[in-house]
Amino acid sequence: MIPTSTSTPPSAATAVSARGVDKTFSTKQGEVVALSGIDLDVAPGEFVSLIGPSGCGKSTLLRLIADLDSPSAGTVEVFGTSAHQARIDQRYGIAFQQAGLLPWRTVAGNIALPLELHGMAPAERTARVDELVALVGLGDFAQKFPDQLSGGMQQRVAIARALAEKPALLLMDEPFGALDEMTREYMQTELLRIAAETGAAVVFVTHSIPEAVYLSDRVVVMSPRPGRIADIVPMRLGRAADRADDLREDGAFFEMITAVREALHGAPVTGPRGVETR
Amino acid sequence: MSRAPVVERVPSTAERLLAPVILGVVVIVLWQLLAGSGLIEAYLLPSPAAIGAEIAAFLPSMASAAGLTGLNALIGLLAGTIVGIVAALVASAARIIDGMLAPIVAALAVVPIVALAPVLNTAFGADAQTGRQLIAALAAFVPVFINTARGLRQTRPVHRDLMRAYAATPWQVMRTITLRTAAPFTFTGIRLASSLAVISALVAEYFGGPRGGLGGLISTSAASSAYPRAWAYVVAAIVLGLAFYLVALAIERAVSRRG
């Protein structure tokens, strides 16, 4: 397929730039169009959430940005280079819904993993791990093993690991999806603090409207079959970095929730055509 | 009347260890009484006391016999383990090799030791231990190969994604994730193989070859109607098998604690 959108050339000033991206998976049941005609720019330091129902391709889009999959058509650029080159150059950090820690390594050992793989000297590595453990508030747990930690703590280790090499872009695929509501809200506030401290751009996949609204500068609302961007809702809630828990009870917060909800439900109903994605 | 609350008691370590010991003592006492009663002929079931006396009398010979059989089992276990791991690595690297190896391993798994022992004993000559070691290796190879091959397929998708995101080299992925994930499976295979290696090395001695091992002495003692002595060597064989199993189990526990 040839991208039909009128492309504007991406510049190095954008953290992520997707142009006319399609993604088709071949399954036993036939071709499944996961993404169709995606155009998206994320500015440096910007917090962008991808939200939508199951099967809208939000995780797929994140995987394309991470170069864990390749687009069927169109281009994905990260800091002005191809997504592939950006992965080779380690321009992003990534966290998944599962913490994905190595159970046989301690907290410190898990956080050190990317540093080890990329050949950082041991002394430097220890110092960096100490910083990161403190950043995510796990100072007392550095020598614990993952099975000794709660789900929220494991996810904090995963975030520290994603931040290990000071990436200017953080990719997160429903990292708080498996946590209870209270831990989740705490982690959201922590993430805003960390994102502000590191100045990283964040692309954050979620299916929670309040979570997307609370965290984001912009919320990208996606619709399924085929996955496409239905709307992009800018959050008028001040800088994400300045937000705190009291925002959750603010009138403006509820207005933004309503705006995102309407964008989600107002998306053109395509109905059951083509192939189910699951 | 109110009923006392039911409290679940967790048995202490001492209780858990003591229970089977008490059972064992009770069984031996009953056995001794039964053997001494004259109801059962002594050649059918020698008394524990008679077996114990033989053990005391032949301890040095039993130790050297256990050493000989044990060494054959150990050499076989190590060789079978090494070949099993290497074959599993090769099979996991190339699907076509996996497809070629699978039926061969299935065939090996059903080869009865008793069928191979006379052949290999004759093939390697009457004065060599090679045939026995080979039989032990063959028996050990199968569980190590099957478990390692399975372990090498257990890598979690999230770990694979993570390593790809880190642009890790294939060797780094192998070292950091794949081998470490497979290790507990391999050691389970080695634990299963440890008993098989001892049994195979022992049974192989029944079919000729050099004397001096536990299997050979069991068959000669039985053939010369020295039943208590035959049983004494059986006890030694049990101790040898247990020793192999417990060492392998301890290593497996140590490796699988996390993971």
- Region of poorest pLDDT, from A137-146, B99-108, B172-181: B99-108
Which residues from chain A sit within 8 angstroms of residue B168, using beta carbons? Answer: 117
Helix, strand or coil for residue B124? coil
3-state secondary structure chain A: CCCCCCCCCCCCCCCEEEEEEEEEEEECCEEEEEEEEEEEEECCCCEEEEECCCCCCHHHHHHHHCCCCCCCEEEEEECCEEHHHHHHCCCEEEECCCCCCCCCCCHHHHHHHHHHHCCCCHHHHHHHHHHHHHHCCCHHHCCCCHHHCCHHHHHHHHHHHHHCCCCCEEEEECCCCCCCHHHHHHHHHHHHHHHHHHCCEEEEEECCHHHHHHHCCEEEEEECCCEEEEEEEECCCCCHHHCCHHHHHCHHHHHHHHHHHHHHHCCCCCCCCCCCCC
Q: How confident is the model at residue B3 (pLDDT cuts 50, 70, 90)?
A: low
If we measure between CA atoms, which residue out of A78, A27, A83 comes closest to residue A55? A27
**Is any Cβ of chain A less than 8 angstroms from the Cβ of B21?**
no
Helix, strand or coil for residue B169? coil
* Segments making up each domain of chain A, as ranges: 16-91+167-266, 101-165
- Optimal mutation site among A69, A104, A165, interface B, most CBs of chain B within 10 A: A104
Question: Looking at residue A173, what is its pLDDT?
Answer: 92
Closest CB to A100 among B158, B164, B259:
B158
Q: How confident is the model at residue B77 (pLDDT cuts 50, 70, 90)?
A: very high
Rounded CA gap, A273 and A176, in Å?
A: 32
Alpha carbon of A117: minimum distance to chain B alpha carbons (Å) = 7
Question: Looking at residue A274, what is its pLDDT?
Answer: 41
Rounded CA gap, A108 and A149, in Å?
A: 13
- Region of poorest pLDDT, from A48-62, B107-121, B134-148, B203-217: B107-121
**Is any Cβ of chain A less than 8 angstroms from the Cβ of B55?**
no
Take residue B183 and report the two structure tokens written for it. Answer: 């290790």
Rounded CA gap, B233 and A123, in Å?
A: 58
CB contact (8 A) between residue B176 and residue A113: yes
pLDDT, tens digit, 9 for 90 and up, residues A53-67 = 888 888 888 999 999
Rounded CA gap, B189 and B192, in Å?
A: 5
Which residues from chain A sit within 8 angstroms of residue B176, using beta carbons? Answer: 102, 113, 117
**Is any Cβ of chain A less than 8 angstroms from the Cβ of B177?**
yes
Q: Is the pLDDT of residue B217 over 60?
A: yes
Q: Which position has the token pair 């239905």?
A: A230
Complex ipTM more than 0.90, yes or no:
no
**Is any Cβ of chain B less than 8 angstroms from the Cβ of A103?**
yes
Q: How confident is the model at residue A6 (pLDDT cuts 50, 70, 90)?
A: very low
Which residues from chain B sit within 8 angstroms of residue A118, using beta carbons? Answer: 166
Closest CB to A117 among B156, B166, B259:
B166
- Region of poorest pLDDT, from A3-7, A175-179, B147-151, B164-168: A3-7
Q: Is the pLDDT of residue B257 over 80?
A: no
Question: Looking at residue B7, what is its pLDDT?
Answer: 66
Q: Is the pLDDT of residue B16 over 90?
A: no
Which residues from chain B sit within 8 angstroms of residue A100, using beta carbons? Answer: 156, 158-159, 161-162
Question: Looking at residue A271, what is its pLDDT?
Answer: 43
Q: Is the pLDDT of residue B76 over 90?
A: yes
Rounded CA gap, B216 and B231, in Å?
A: 13
Alpha carbon of B121: minimum distance to chain A alpha carbons (Å) = 45
- Considering chain B, what percentage of its residues have pLDDT values greater than 90? 29
Q: A92-95 and A169-173 as β-strands: parallel, antiparallel, unpaired? A: parallel
CB contact (8 A) between residue A117 and residue B168: yes
Helix, strand or coil for residue B91? helix
Closest CB to B258 among A98, A104, A118:
A104
Take residue B40 and report the two structure tokens written for it. Answer: 């059962």
Angle between helices B227-256 and B48-57 (to 10 degrees): 80
Alpha carbon of A102: minimum distance to chain B alpha carbons (Å) = 8
Residue in A closest to B169 by C-alpha: A117
Question: Looking at residue A163, what is its pLDDT?
Answer: 86
Q: Give the residue ranges of DSSP H helices in chain B.
A: 13-36, 48-57, 59-93, 95-109, 113-123, 130-151, 157-165, 170-173, 179-204, 214-223, 227-256
Q: Is the pLDDT of residue B81 over 90?
A: yes
Closest CB to A90 among B167, B180, B258:
B167
CB contact (8 A) between residue B166 and residue A113: yes
3-state secondary structure B176-233: HHHHHHHHHHHHHHHHHHHHHHHHHHHHHHHHCCCCCCHHHHHHHHHHCCCHHHHHHH
Average pLDDT over residues A199-228: 89
**Is any Cβ of chain B less than 8 angstroms from the Cβ of A182?**
no
Q: Residue B41 is which amino acid?
A: E
Question: Looking at residue B78, what is its pLDDT?
Answer: 96
Closest CB to B180 among A88, A100, A104:
A104
**Is any Cβ of chain A less than 8 angstroms from the Cβ of B166?**
yes
Judge whether A225 and A182 are in contact, CB under 8 Å: no
Q: Which of A171-175, B36-40, B89-93 has the highest mean pLDDT?
A: A171-175
Task: Walk me through the domains of chain B, giving residue ranges and CATH numbers.
Answer: 47-255 (1.10.3720.10)
Residue in B closest to A113 by C-alpha: B176
Question: Looking at residue B244, what is its pLDDT?
Answer: 92
Judge whether B68 and B213 are in contact, CB under 8 Å: yes
CB contact (8 A) between residue B164 and residue A92: no
Question: Class assignment of domain A16-91+167-266?
Answer: alpha beta
Residue in A closest to B172 by C-alpha: A117
- Optimal mutation site among A113, A165, A172, interface B, most CBs of chain B within 10 A: A113
Take residue A262 and report the two structure tokens written for it. Answer: 């309407």
**Is any Cβ of chain B less than 8 angstroms from the Cβ of A94?**
yes
